[in-house]
Amino acid sequence: MNYKEWTKKAEDNYAELSDEYFKMQVGLPFSEKKIHELEEKSSKIAKEFIKNFTKPEEVYRTAVSAISSAATVKLTLKLTELKKTQIKSETQKFREQPVNWNTWRQFVVNANDQERKTVYDEFVKLTPKIAGLTQDFFETSKKIFQEHNQTILNTYLTSHNINYEHAIEFLTKLRDGIKEKYWEEFKKETNRILGRDPQYYDDLYFMRNVIYNDLADKFGNINALEGIKKTAKQLGFNTSIIHIDDVDRADKSPSPFCSAIRVPEDVRISYKAENPLNDTKSIYHEMGHAIHETHIQANLPYEDRYVLSMGLAETFSQFFESLISNEIYLKEELGLDEKLAKEYVRRIKVMRLITFAFYAGNSLFKLKMYHNNVPFEKLNELYTEEQKQSMNMNIPGEYWLLHHILPEYLLYVPSYLFAYANVEEMKTNCVELGGERWWHSKKAGEYLKNLIQPGAKSLMSDFSKITPDKLIKTMTE
């Protein structure tokens, strides 16, 4: 078998497996048996690569990850099921059913303060039901990486071309640089909305809804999907092949996501309606992923189409989402009046401060967890410590087990913040090329295409020199 034959086999299997996972995540009929079979096949294909090839090195690392994924698929599926059946409230209901992990985010939108606290506390107390499986997931993964002379941490850092010290420095500097402004603005918002200072159960997923509650209905006439499609077309991108699943099914994941089944020709997004404003944010973000993945050159080798760092993937989703934090864009492209646009942009900035603080804590937690080989039973304590530094609150350590990324992905969350640093640079360059209304500029569009088309070889894939300085300045001025 030559390398080209191997890549075809790998790509075909990945597409089938991704399709089954997509159906599972959107609440459509799927075959758990088929997932097991395809994961096993994926593992065999990965082992074939390791047996026959040593390069490209990035594919070797991905092959190890695939073997790990196949070995943990039963744990992952069981954990998904346990969250639906075991993490549920005994006191609160949503649509006449007990609030569970899947409906939690939708429930908090209209719940009162005491109801939210009750469900939060209930769910924290229920985390022992999922802790054992989560521990098995991480320990099994770690063992497999070690068997192939790899580590989870080094694989992640190498894919971003960044070392541990630089990553920690970037995140710590960002956290400390926004801390005072973050807390000042967070307090203002909870006092405006709730008449009190922030509490531990005012988490990101509650705040990102409630902060916009009185504005949400004013977005009701906005067609976000048409808005981003129009902008993409002006920049020279084609969105016609992107599949969008917006149906609200009971078993559908509450988290919006984009799934690249086959790059670049089969890319799908899913979101579950929360409110018109939040849906606008979700659509712009996930369409950013999809625009990116559908415009990677089709003739590139396998590794340049599929082996992209998470930071690179998040760069383009964050970039396109940033359009709706631009006052001119909101007024002229989405039709918001000046007063509403100005207030919305102000609140976006507050929400971004909260997001950066939360993600910084999550990121430092995950990086230190691996680097320091923290025992699983000590992770709750570490999480509380890191979020105390980042969010200035005593967050229950068990909360990380309820998150949709921290316990389900080996290492992902720092990529969001690395990507934001890229976005600041890209926005500056687009303004230089096309002026303050750069989204009408073909030059800006060509610049973006030139960043996207090379796939993994994009200029934005190197995070070795990123600094948080522009981010801090933008967020605190």
**Are 35 and 20 contacting, i.e. CB atoms less than 8 angstroms apart?**
yes
Q: Tell me, what's the pLDDT at 274?
A: 74
- State the alpha helices, DSSP H only, in 195-239: 204-210, 213-216, 224-235
Question: What is the share, in percent, of the chain residues with pLDDT greater than 90?
Answer: 87
Q: How far apart, in whole angstroms, are the C-alpha atoms of residue 318 and residue 315?
A: 5
The 3-state DSSP class for residue 407 equals: coil
- DSSP string covering 138-187, please? HHHHHHHHHHTT--HHHHHHHHTT--HHHHHHHHHHHHHHHHHHHHHHHH
Q: Tokens 């099914």, residue?
A: 249
What would the pLDDT profile of 132-180 be if each residue is shown by its tens digit?
Answer: 999 999 999 999 999 999 999 999 999 999 999 999 999 999 999 999 9
- State the alpha helices, DSSP H only, in 26-112: 32-52, 57-85, 104-110
Q: How far apart, in whole angstroms, are the C-alpha atoms of residue 333 and residue 29?
A: 38
The better pLDDT of the pair 406, 142 is held by 142
Q: Which two tokens stand for residue 95?
A: 């649509």
pTM score, whole prediction: 0.89
Q: Which of 198-202, 261-265, 271-275, 278-282 has the lowest mean pLDDT?
A: 271-275
Read off the pLDDT of each residue in 387-410 and give the average, rounded to a whole number.
94
pLDDT level of residue 219 (50, 70, 90 thresholds): confident
> Whole-number mean pLDDT of the chain?
95
Residues in Cβ contact with 434 at an 8 Å cutoff, skipping those fewer than 6 apart: 440, 441, 443, 444
Q: How far apart, in whole angstroms, are the C-alpha atoms of residue 216 and residue 40?
A: 45
Q: Is the pLDDT of residue 4 over 90?
A: yes
Q: How far apart, in whole angstroms, are the C-alpha atoms of residue 426 and residue 319?
A: 8
Cis-peptide into 98, omega within 30 deg:
no
Question: In this structure, how many other beta carbons lie within 10 angstroms of the beta carbon of residue 184?
Answer: 12
Q: Which two tokens stand for residue 264?
A: 């670049």
Question: In this structure, how many other beta carbons lie within 10 angstroms of the beta carbon of residue 272?
Answer: 22
Q: Is the pLDDT of residue 216 over 90?
A: no
**Are 17 and 44 contacting, i.e. CB atoms less than 8 angstroms apart?**
no
- DSSP string covering 317-363, please? HHHHHGGGG-HHHHHHTS---HHHHHHHHHHHHHHHHHHHHHHHHHH
Hey, what CATH class is 164-476 in? Answer: mainly alpha
Q: Quick one: CA torsion of 417, 437, 284, 217, rounded to 10 degrees?
A: 110
Q: Which residues pair with 93 in a beta bridge?
A: 98
Q: Tell me, what's the pLDDT at 154?
A: 97
Q: How far apart, in whole angstroms, are the C-alpha atoms of residue 191 and residue 211?
A: 11
Q: How far apart, in whole angstroms, are the C-alpha atoms of residue 362 and residue 371?
A: 14
What would the pLDDT profile of 295-348 be if each residue is shown by its tens digit?
Answer: 999 999 999 999 999 999 999 999 999 999 999 999 999 999 999 999 999 999
Q: How far apart, in whole angstroms, are the C-alpha atoms of residue 26 and residue 257?
A: 10
Q: Tell me, what's the pLDDT at 405?
A: 86
Buried b (16+ CB within 10 A) or exposed e, 7-41: beebeebbbbbbbbbbbbbbbeebeeeebeebbeb
Q: How far apart, in whole angstroms, are the C-alpha atoms of residue 91 and residue 88?
A: 9
Q: Would you kindly state where each structural domain of the chain is located, as residue ranges?
A: 3-87+133-150, 88-126, 164-476
